[in-house]
Amino acid sequence: MLSSLGATQRCFGAIVLLVLTLFLLASLQHMDVTVFLPLLRDQAEAPPITNVMFLKTHKTASSTVLNILFRFAETHNLSVALPAGSRLHLGYPWLFLARYVEGVKQGGTQPRFNVMCNHLRFNLPEVQKVMPNDTFYFSILRNPVFQLESSFIYYRDYVPAFRDAASLDTFLASPLTYYNRSRSLRNAHARNNMWFDLGFDSDAPAEESYVRARLAEVEQRFQLVLIAEHFDESMVLLRRRLRWQLDDIVSFRLNSRSQRSVTRLTPEGQERAKRWCALDWRLYQHFNRSFWAQVRAELSPRRLRSEVARLRARRRELTALCLQDSKPKDKQQITDRRLRPYQSGDADILGYNLRRGLDNQTLQVCQRMVTPELQYMAHLYALQFPEKPPKDISFLEE
pLDDT tens track for 33-73: 444 444 444 434 689 999 999 999 999 999 999 999 999 99
pLDDT of residue 394: 74
The stretches in the chain having pLDDT less than 50 are 1-16, 18-20, 22-23, 25-44
Q: What is the average pLDDT value for the chain, to the nearest integer?
A: 90
Q: What is the pLDDT of residue 183?
A: 79
Name beta bridge partners: 323. Answer: 354
Q: Where are the alpha helices (DSSP H) in the chain?
A: 2-29, 37-41, 62-75, 124-127, 144-154, 160-163, 168-173, 193-197, 208-221, 231-242, 246-249, 267-276, 278-298, 301-322, 360-370, 373-384
49-300: CATH number:
3.40.50.300
Q: Give me the residue spans of the domains in the chain.
A: 15-45, 49-300
Closest CA to 269 of 163, 141, 166, 164: 166
User: Which helix (H) or strand (E) element contains residue 137?
Assistant: strand 136-141
Task: Decide if 352 contacts 252 (C-beta within 8 A).
Answer: yes
Distance CA 236, CA 372 (A): 23
The closest of 155, 149, 143, 150 to 169, measured between CA atoms, is 149
pLDDT of residue 28: 45
Q: Are 379 and 67 in contact (CB under 8 A)?
A: no
In the prediction, which pLDDT does 181 show?
86
Nearest to 233 by CA among 155, 296, 159, 158: 296
